[in-house]
Structure 1
Amino acid sequence: MTAKIGPLSSSIIAVIAVGGIFGLLVIIITTAWLFDLPKRRRRAQHQGIMEPSGKKSLEIAEAEKGSVDVSVTEVSSTNASTNYSSMRPTRPASPEYFKPYSEQKELHANAPYRSSMLTYPGNLRKAFKDAQADASKTLMGVAHGIPSTFVTKLIATTKPDFIFIDVEHGMFNRLELHDAIHAAQHHSEGKTLVIVRVPKHDEVSLTTALDAGAAGIIIPHTESAEEVKKFIKEMYYGPKGQRSFSPWTFTPGLTTSLYPNDPYNVATSNNHVCIIPQIESVKGVENAEEITAVEGVDAVMFGPGDYLIDAGLDLGRVMAGDPQPEFLEAMGKFGAAAAKNNVPVFGGAMSLEMIPMLIETGSRGIVVQFDVWGFTRLMHESLETARGHAKQFEGNPKAIPNGQPKPE
């Protein structure tokens, strides 16, 4: 006989069944939470997250007290090539320690001669005057002959005082020249001034260089004061000269100037841009004194190569360090003319050891490296050094540097 279950008994059984299922779920959830707890704690410690109560983690609290270093650990020069792990931050830097670039003055380029806008010329005239008054401020720069704005940017990131762009002998076209001048000024954050040597009778190159913001123009093969005066007229706006105004070098309402009432930066150009006659012939040396006496000449440059050829002297002897007396006499006359009229000399150093002598003899703008020569020398010296190392193993593929057999 089967016993019957009444309504009350059925209700009791249902409650017990539901309660059993609920209890089983509670046990499962509790067990899972307990197993996951260690992982959650490790994750919280690794990320430095806040506690549920809103309190800051121990790491951040200690960092705020200054007891935890959140900066990147400096790498010693002795282990910089191997100890990469020491370059990692000791703690993840918190956003609350972030300082805007404008507040970190030590990151800013020291650019005392820059213009208000980096598409306008820096104050090369003031830079030359400061160097003439204090030789320790002599401008040091790089000559740029490779027609590549990528190379310009690389040079500019080293922040030389100037980049000398050679259009007379370099392969720069009009657009490359324009972009190279802008690249030099922007990638140096205004620290680098641009000096351009243009072909003597090339109005297009002269106009392009000036409109792009060149701070100095070198006029090659200058032989008389009259030539200098003619170029002054071409290089400067009125009333100083007759330079044509370009509508593409400013933005109405947005362009700014260091000078009051100068919305088109006419004063910037007239006050900042330098003219640098280059004397490189017998006639030029004869007229050096009158050339350097012209009002408006900011510096003067000597061209030894062309002078030697024009004078019929041996270029090879000068390159070998054994110049002829006639050449030294011409250099002396050139230097004396510059000194008499208090005009700085601009030129290049064939070696870094020449720099003290150049400063002593009146140079206030010195090219210390040439991109073509520097690149070639670096490649040549690296290859020669590498081949020298390889030569130690000559005749014995298993030899070690001291010549002893390499142990098997």
Structure 2
Amino acid sequence: MSGPSGKLGGLSTSVVAIIAVGGVAGLLALIVVTSLILDIPKRMKQKKNTGLMAPEEMEKKSVEIDDAEKGAVKQSTREISVQSPSFMADFKPYSEQPELHAKAPYRAAMLTQPANLKQALKDAQADASKTLMGIAQGIPSTFVTKLIASTKPDFIWMDVEHGMYNRLTLHDCIHAAQHHSEGKSMVICRVPKHDELSLTTALDAGCAGIVIPHVESAQEVRDFIKEMYFGGGKGHRSFSPWTFTPGLTTSLYPNDPYNVQTANNHVCLIPQIESLKGLEACEEIAAVEGISGLMFGPGDYMIDAGMDIHSFMNGNPDPKFFEAMGTFNAAAAKYDLPIFGGVMGLDQIPMAIQTGMRGIAVQFDVWGTTRLFASSLEAGWKHAKSFEGNPKPSMANGQAKPAE
């Protein structure tokens, strides 16, 4: 039977057609694969010509590069070793280099607690070579405090009476002083006489000394002592729950988990006499048990006494001023009290020590920075002025006039 519905050897013509097509496709696939296999050597040759390498060559080259890199590393290491003999090999932990550690003999167990200013002043009073040198800070800025503390003065005197400190700034400045000096710098605050908030803030933050301004009687000092110290017959200072963490806070003293003994043993009270009435009561004030030093206020005293401050600032004080200082110094000497204060210039330090000063502010932040700016500008303008007559100076033709 013929036609599409016919059969061939028992198979329909459709099946035969499918087999035929499959055979042709298989034959074509075989030809393509064979062509690819035969073309491999040629392709490898082309790859060599274009910079690509056969696997065995790549492996060989990799070994060569690896060896070269190892050599380069060895060479680099050798060069670093030559240039820097201590490169890592000589590293010593900070804890094993005591010469880097701040010498802070009077610090408390924790830097949030007051340093032992009482002992520091006693040591200085016994040996003038241990006189404390510090910086007076009137700018209410923790950044300024950090700069000062980085020089590690013996103390930083923060003037809360005249400086524009708010409560948080004062707290943070005291902490910054002690932390950034690594415990070396003790903090002394002058607070307004009737400002309980400033006093509480300074003490809770870890201030080591309080200066009371405008003291005019011994009774004022006794009353102030009660505000500064904790119990035990010394005072009625309020106990803060925010200055310690139970179980974590430490103290230099046994059985003192809340640093009550630290505060009572370390914090100093320094009355400041700066009026005619105060000077009259000077010896009575110096005799009060519990104070650690005395301070004189020349500016307020001269105004109260009708003296010319300008003459004093220019090195020509009123003769009566020397009489007043004599009375003050005699009272301090009689009761073996160190004098705290500042100097107008560094050349005054020897005289200050000879007259009984044992805590000396050798620089004031406002005066010091202003004078630094002024002297630097003066030097700059002077150098520029030296080029008069040579408006376009250069390294080739420009010469400044000889210094006069």
Q: TM-score range by the shorter chain?
A: 0.7 to 0.9
Q: Distance in 1 between matches of 2:132 and 2:329?
A: 18
Match of 1:42 in 2: 72
Match of 1:328 in 2: 322
Residue type of the alignment partner of 2:76: H
Residue type of the alignment partner of 2:329: G
Instruction: Could you list the structure 1 runs, at least 4 aligned residues long, displaced by more than 6 angstroms after superposition.
Output: none
Q: Distance in 1 between matches of 2:182 and 2:401?
A: 53
Deviation at 1:43, TM superposition (A): 2.9
Residue type of the alignment partner of 2:254: P
Match of 2:209 in 1: 216
Residue type of the alignment partner of 1:93: F
From 121, 129, 135, give the equivalent of 1:136. Answer: 129
Structure 2 alignment gaps of length 5 or more? 1-37, 46-52
Q: Distance in 1 between matches of 2:55 and 2:237?
A: 90
Match of 1:195 in 2: 188
Match of 1:293 in 2: 287
Contact kept, 8 Å, 2:190 with 2:212, in 1: the verdict is yes
- Pairing of 1:139-154 with structure 2 (within 5 A): 139-154=132-147
Between the aligned residues of both structures, percent identity stands at: 66
Describe the SS at the equivalent of 1:396.
coil
Q: Which has the larger radius of gyration?
A: 2
Deviation at 1:92, TM superposition (A): 6.8
From 278, 283, 306, give the equivalent of 2:300. Answer: 306
Describe the SS at the equivalent of 2:197.
helix
Structure 1 alignment gaps of length 5 or more? 1-13, 49-58, 61-67, 70-88
Q: Distance in 1 between matches of 2:65 and 2:116?
A: 71
Q: Distance in 1 between matches of 2:93 and 2:274?
A: 51
Match of 2:113 in 1: 120
Deviation at 1:33, TM superposition (A): 3.9
Residue type of the alignment partner of 1:296: G
Deviations along 1:219-260, one digit per CA (max 9) or x if unpaired, are 000011111101001100012111010111111111111111
Deviation at 1:37, TM superposition (A): 4.2
Q: TM-score, normalised by structure 2?
A: 0.82
Q: Per the alignment, do residues 32 and 216 of structure 1 end up closer, same or farther by CA in structure 2, a change over 3 Å counting? A: closer
Match of 2:333 in 1: 339
Q: Distance in 2 between matches of 1:32 and 1:264?
A: 68
Deviation at 1:46, TM superposition (A): 1.2
Question: What is the total number of aligned residue pairs between the two structures?
Answer: 353
Residue type of the alignment partner of 1:227: E
Deviations along 1:200-229, one digit per CA (max 9) or x if unpaired, are 100000000000000000000001111110
Match of 1:99 in 2: 92
Moved more, 206-215 or 26-35: 26-35
Q: Distance in 2 between matches of 1:27 and 1:220?
A: 90
Describe the SS at the equivalent of 1:375.
helix
Deviations along 1:176-213, one digit per CA (max 9) or x if unpaired, are 00000000000001000000000010000000000000
Residue type of the alignment partner of 2:305: A
Residue type of the alignment partner of 2:118: R
Q: TM-score, normalised by structure 1?
A: 0.82
